Structure 1
């Protein structure tokens, strides 16, 4: 099989995008010296998205490349048996035989893949082409379903297409920045430092933070709205009411470039400031202050992340943010717009490549006959090869395994036995699947414990490919070290399997560059047009922003979308949505009187497969801590440093308590990183969370579950 060349250890410094969050910082990596050791990472001063800045995770990523790596395929017929090394030949034989048998007996719907925002675009593309095109199953979903699918749906509903309309330069140009549902200081730290740098210059920037917790982000705010969990959309409706009241509506923009304002106005007028403030649990004066600043702003920029997306009304809240920008004309110009901060390094690229169960490459939809025909023709498959029905989102895949309807579940580049909600239910469902395949770089993950076939994956640094960050910036990440042992690039594994299943012509790639060239040709004429990009151009000219149609000169990609206020909808107008606020899917009650919210800490990344091996990260965050307000701690009989039992309808975890007045009463916070593999420190936060979520995006409400506390 073909694989990417990797540079030898004596190579000069390599350039790449950081493989952690969606900021997409540029890194310069220096190889170990003659005495050995780790690669040394530092910020790439020439990368336009980060300008040399880097956080603790990016600075220490070189220490994660070697430890605890998988180096050979592993197999067991039953999960109560030990995993044993096998050859790649045997691994592919197992896969081919299972897939062929399943197609003959149950059909393509019994096959599913769950991928990752850690994929490079080439990995995403090959996996989607294999499953959706060659095998006829749209059951390819990714962990972007857990972090960005509400942003995808919200943008598409409001603006006509996915795709953040803003760029990082807008952070330097806005005079009002609304940070809602994002602890930017810890989750997107380099962007937050850019805002702080502006603040130090004293140029009139106002920061407003909406978060039930006081965090490093809110510490820098001019106004912190510590709203009750689940009241984000009510806040936005109250803000809209005040825009109507104080002349904050751009009537010309509304008339010429939007539709649906009459319905939205009815909704907003029903949310008087006193009502909105009461539902949110904030002072009415603070809501009025935000409205005053919004009306005064020449550039209002809204940034959001998981606190908005991970909600049963995630798509509605994204639309609510877009409503404010559209109605006030704060979109399509410098320093203004609704700006989703992507969670993972290439979740943005995955969306363009079609990396969710309802998508096809180039921001196409599997439900659109014309879109299917275009992709089938480009891929070289017969008409009708792609199913017209959206595939199973990840929680639907779990439910299908519960019913015994999946014969193969292939997990790649992610660790769902920590990151999914209702983990006890997930474990039972996965154990019911006849063949669980795991493509992974690191040994000993929680998901490996339930896998039958484990494939050693070459990760970022060991394969060449493209990633796209939150501002649509495309970066080529070249391989700069050899994969350990027999590890292979994900795209190459999927392509090899495609050839072995008989699709030789469709998967005859000799390099990742060929995969990428085939993908970008599919984007021509679409909003995310990247047809002018190639590995060669990116290697020679550095990162570029899309849209980048064929013929575009390097450095001339569009910084902002919708500058002409023309939207990719049938009418050419943006859509205003009058979604009524619904609140939490699982509100507190007498038995479970508190709301648990979960999230990240600065030094760790998701399920700790990388950062558990970084000494600096472990020193900064040695254990999980449950943040509890003093009044709630007193009611539960807890003291600072004691261990608490946290109960939900789905189970319980034990964790050390940190009593603090930096969280609002009635709410507790727990980081989500420490899964079962962390031994005595294990604290499976998502075991407590429910699977209910947004009916539009199918993103689980991972930010809120009803819990009770008792002393452990």
Structure 2
């Protein structure tokens, strides 16, 4: 059988000359709009789209660098089966034949799909339709299970449907913003700058940050509460009690629009004798607790902005509902500047939920627990074999792969060997699975190593389709350039396999718009408002309704103006805020208060352990397959680290800037110690991004216990007891190389440079003292210079090919020695005359310039020492004046919290 041929929009880049396309950023859930300049099938520049409602023209440093992520480096260009390049027909036939045979022998639940919030809605829709509608299993889950499952379940319990009621404009109009379990200054910098700008315009506005860490967001806050990890529901249960005691309830709103308030209040009261008990449970001063409660109670417009610190918990659903309870109790929801705002981690986490991306959902916000909803989707899809029960959630799914019950799994656009808890089990599971299919863009993902079939997928700039951001805004990514090699869009790959499985009639898609129209039509199928005069008896109301787009033309789709759903006959231009009329998506149209018994994490540390918290850093994204390609994005944080409180450093004999080892579940993480008072005692923080492609031992999730929320299956990624000890290196240093190398040292971390790579190195084994230590790595080099500095215990080695610097190695047994390599990095691959080679060994250029210090502003590469010099000279006395002189802080604003610390 031959592969089907798809039509798609002609790429504007196929025409000689420059074109400008409007598209979207593929990183976080903010969903920023972008204007991309394309020339000769390459994006040569990007800037923020001033017309897009998500970002109004601003981009963070990651988005601003998107054009630098392109190129053939590490791209997967051809389908592979068992490591050999094959035709698309062979690859998709292999998948279809294996799935058919497996299902015939073991049933449909023996196969599974694991998807990603990186996929576009059309990709998601087709994958869900194939598995749930036609293969007949619910075994489709997504990495959104790791970030948004708690919020999804909480929304459904409270509102009857997974709906974020507010919008980004509320962050500008709120009089107080409570940020809990989130660090938007780093993770969602564009919406964070909205909050800061609004406060600058009106200093009476308050920002309260509730977070165990003193994050960049906390440093900007009017009030920071460093609560005990996992005590969030205690805080909000206490707030509910406080509101009742102070007479700050909106009793009219509760009576007209809510159900179950008294039980929720009594349940909260059952855990505390008085408010002081709340402060004890949260481990904060009572005065700070009461100050924050007073701000919430006395302020008319309050937004609670929450993310992974709430969601990634063994009781994340309850935490989110405890937040929502307080907003319902005060009527601070469904109106301008007020609401509980759950922000997604990924660009299309909400779009995935719209089409049933989680194993517990059906498409179009329908669910398995109601047979009428299953029947609705069955009839619309004309799918007699539709799944009738939920499938396996992510942690359970990989457990079943490990046990052998799932015998074929297709992983799309995600890297579970790095991101899943107990990640070494995931590795073992994939090793033994009879068929692992991976659809991916890049070779440098850990999961690729375990694939039987590798499928080359298109990526940003190459694919077209829709996404939905955190405030329900649907946007369409533009196809601007031709994908390299034989790469295809994910929906095309899935459709081809569906045809070979025998489902051609149900998957007759020729363009992404065909899928989008079907998705839109399903959202409106037998869907009418509960108060509508002509509501049919069999109709099942969903707030999610984009049926006005069911007949959208291809031209209008390709030029779609970003719009917030619902988008239907009643609201053809979308809706800013939901539940403004107090009518919810429950059977009685009232919101539900949920009684919450607050809980701490399931596994608490013993005296030999610390609590490991993990999360994003400012300039990297997920597992770095894209951002790790950009040199300037590696300058702010260039290797794995461990943030440690001074008391813990003393207790465990850890030295600042030296390496330490974390251990749990027979797995290790090696990172650089950063001693800081920003951590509470007994707690550490590590970044999630590094993996086996970028460091020797830095897959954080391998240390995370597979503990999940019983209600939603989301893992407790923010609270893992681990052991910590010094690495005990005998030397440290770096290697600058024009080629990638396999480092033999027990610690290494790879950093992308403009002209090659830099490797930070340490080892417990004694170091040799001549060029032979590099001979196995560079057998082609026979032109070496070796310099030994006995005074500083430093060894420097440079290797040349045709007079060009090919590698440079520096190491010392003095572990406190700080190397400066910036000048040498700039000399890589350059021809260097003999007389200048020895000057090179000093690492200082001819002008005597060298280290600019830690990089603060990635956008304009402004270092700490440069900033200090500008301040010391008297020329800069504020963040604004630093921006005028050095440009730092004038692009995305992500570095502004750090710039402020120079003046405090």
Q: TM-score range by the shorter chain?
A: over 0.9
Question: After superposition, where does 1:78-477 map in structure 2 within 5 Å?
Answer: 83-270=83-270, 271=272, 272-382=274-384, 385-477=385-477
For residue 38 of structure 1, report the CA deviation from its aligned partner: 5.1
* Partner in structure 1 of residue 45 of structure 2: 40
TM-score normalised by the chain length of structure 1: 0.96
User: What root-mean-square deviation, in Å, do the aligned CA atoms of Structure 1 and Structure 2 show?
Assistant: 1.4
* Partner in structure 1 of residue 807 of structure 2: none
Please state if 1:69 is matched with 2:75: yes
CA contact (8 A) 1:3 1:492 kept: no
Residues 263, 74 of structure 1: alpha-carbon distance in 2 compared, 3 angstrom cutoff? same
Aligned with 2:579 (options 557, 562, 567): 562
Per the alignment, in what secondary structure is the counterpart of residue 171 of structure 2?
A: helix
Please state if 1:581 is matched with 2:598: yes
For residue 84 of structure 1, report the CA deviation from its aligned partner: 1.6
* Partner in structure 2 of residue 607 of structure 1: 623
Residues 204-238 of structure 1: per-residue CA shift (max 9 Å, x gap): 21000011111110111111011111111111111
Aligned with 2:8 (options 1, 4, 17): 4
For residue 39 of structure 1, report the CA deviation from its aligned partner: 2.7
* Partner in structure 2 of residue 487 of structure 1: 487
* Partner in structure 2 of residue 59 of structure 1: 64
Please state if 1:684 is matched with 2:690: no
For residue 569 of structure 1, report the CA deviation from its aligned partner: 0.8
Per the alignment, in what secondary structure is the counterpart of residue 446 of structure 2?
A: coil
Q: Could you tell which deviates more after superposition, 6-15 or 341-350?
A: 6-15
CA contact (8 A) 1:522 1:531 kept: yes
For residue 536 of structure 1, report the CA deviation from its aligned partner: 4.0
* Distance in 2, Cα, partners of 1:17 & 1:218: 29
CA contact (8 A) 1:309 1:318 kept: yes
CA contact (8 A) 1:239 1:287 kept: no
For residue 540 of structure 1, report the CA deviation from its aligned partner: 4.3
For residue 541 of structure 1, report the CA deviation from its aligned partner: 5.3
* Distance in 2, Cα, partners of 1:17 & 1:651: 38
Per the alignment, in what secondary structure is the counterpart of residue 397 of structure 2?
A: helix
* Distance in 2, Cα, partners of 1:16 & 1:8: 14
For residue 552 of structure 1, report the CA deviation from its aligned partner: 4.1
* Distance in 1, Cα, partners of 2:239 & 2:555: 48
* Distance in 1, Cα, partners of 2:247 & 2:717: 37
Residue correspondences, number: 698
Segments of structure 1 that go 5 or more residues without pairing to the other structure are 77-82
CA contact (8 A) 1:73 1:455 kept: yes
* Partner in structure 2 of residue 545 of structure 1: 564
* Partner in structure 2 of residue 624 of structure 1: 640
* Distance in 1, Cα, partners of 2:13 & 2:570: 35
* Distance in 2, Cα, partners of 1:201 & 1:636: 46
CA contact (8 A) 1:27 1:42 kept: yes
Residues 279-330 of structure 1: per-residue CA shift (max 9 Å, x gap): 1111111111111111111111011110000000100011011100001110
Per the alignment, in what secondary structure is the counterpart of residue 354 of structure 2?
A: helix
Per the alignment, in what secondary structure is the counterpart of residue 216 of structure 2?
A: coil
For residue 239 of structure 1, report the CA deviation from its aligned partner: 1.4
For residue 645 of structure 1, report the CA deviation from its aligned partner: 1.2
* Distance in 2, Cα, partners of 1:577 & 1:366: 22
* Distance in 1, Cα, partners of 2:240 & 2:394: 34
Per the alignment, in what secondary structure is the counterpart of residue 13 of structure 1?
A: strand
* Distance in 1, Cα, partners of 2:262 & 2:333: 20
* Distance in 1, Cα, partners of 2:644 & 2:111: 43
* Distance in 2, Cα, partners of 1:537 & 1:340: 30
Aligned with 1:707 (options 694, 706, 722): 722
* Partner in structure 1 of residue 857 of structure 2: none
For residue 653 of structure 1, report the CA deviation from its aligned partner: 1.6
CA contact (8 A) 2:348 2:469 kept: yes
CA contact (8 A) 1:7 1:482 kept: no
* Partner in structure 1 of residue 826 of structure 2: none
Per the alignment, in what secondary structure is the counterpart of residue 431 of structure 1?
A: helix
* Partner in structure 1 of residue 662 of structure 2: 646
Structure showing greater relative contact order (alpha-carbon pairs closer than 8 Å, 6 or more residues apart): 1
Residues 73-125 of structure 1: per-residue CA shift (max 9 Å, x gap): 1121xxxxxx2211111101211110110121001000100000011110000
* Distance in 1, Cα, partners of 2:560 & 2:512: 18
Per the alignment, in what secondary structure is the counterpart of residue 514 of structure 2?
A: helix
* Distance in 1, Cα, partners of 2:102 & 2:389: 19
* Partner in structure 1 of residue 506 of structure 2: 506
Per the alignment, in what secondary structure is the counterpart of residue 237 of structure 2?
A: helix
Aligned with 2:54 (options 38, 49, 59): 49
* Distance in 2, Cα, partners of 1:37 & 1:514: 27
CA contact (8 A) 2:645 2:678 kept: yes
Per the alignment, in what secondary structure is the counterpart of residue 548 of structure 2?
A: coil
Q: Which has the larger radius of gyration?
A: 2
For residue 499 of structure 1, report the CA deviation from its aligned partner: 1.2
* Partner in structure 2 of residue 27 of structure 1: 34
* Distance in 1, Cα, partners of 2:303 & 2:358: 28
Q: Could you tell which deviates more after superposition, 180-189 or 200-209?
A: 200-209
Residues 441, 3 of structure 1: alpha-carbon distance in 2 compared, 3 angstrom cutoff? farther
